[in-house]
Amino acid sequence: MEKINRTLAILSTRTIDSGHCIRFNNKYYFPVTENGDRRYFAGKTDCMVIETFDGQLLANIADKLYLIKEVAEHVLVSKEFDAPKEAPKKKKYIPPMDHSWRKVSFANYAAKRSTVVLLMFDYF
């Protein structure tokens, strides 16, 4: 009976988040080797969590089995790797006054300005 219980398991598919963790049963786990060394995988990597009936948790990632240990504090971005840099802000393009998009509006603006200037000269 013990041999059967060791071979039976519950399989669940998961993805690794950008903090290199696997979420399973509302807890976060980190894949480790048999020696206890952490293994880092890119975000959105598919994996399969194996929960054996004797309570052991394993992860199958890229056809390799890893033990998984619970993480005390989960962070969204791993401190082991550089954080993504923010993209520089784009400067808003304002076409020049003689640009084809603005010719009509510039002509209207210039016509209004010239009548205002002419009216001012009529007063003096």
Q: What is the pLDDT of residues 74-106, one digit of tens each?
A: 766 666 665 666 778 888 888 776 777 777 776
* Banded model confidence at residue 5, pLDDT cuts 50, 70, 90: low
Q: How many CB atoms lie within 10 A of CB 39?
A: 15
Note the pTM of the prediction, 2 decimals: 0.56
- The predicted pLDDT at position 52 comes to 83
Q: 4, 1, 5: which is closest to 54 by C-alpha?
A: 5
Token digits of residue 76: 């969204």
